[in-house]
Structure 1
Amino acid sequence: MTADSSASATLYDVEIGALKGGPADLAQYAGKAVLVVNVASKCGLTPQYTGLERLHERYADQGFTVLGVPCNQFLGQEPGSAEEIAEFCSATYGVTFPLTEKVEVNGEARHPLYERLIGFADAEGHTGDIRWNFEKFLIGRDGKVVARFSPQTEPEAAEVVAAVEAQLAG
Structure 2
Amino acid sequence: MWEPIYNLNFIIRLQAVLKIVTNQTVTALDLLADQSTQMRNVILQHRMVLDYLLAEEGGVCGKLSDSNCCLQIDDNGKVVKQVMKEIRQLAHVPVQTWKGMDWDLFSWLPGGPWAKRMLFLFLFLYGVMMLLFIPGMIPCFTLLTRRIINSTQFVMTSVEKKGDVSIMMLKK
TM bin, normalised by shorter chain, reads: under 0.3
Larger radius of gyration: 2
- Report the structure, 1 or 2, having the larger strand content: 1
Structure with the larger RCO, 1 or 2 (CA within 8 Å, 6+ apart): 1
Higher helix share: 2
Q: TM-score, normalised by structure 1?
A: 0.17
TM, length-normalised to structure 2: 0.17
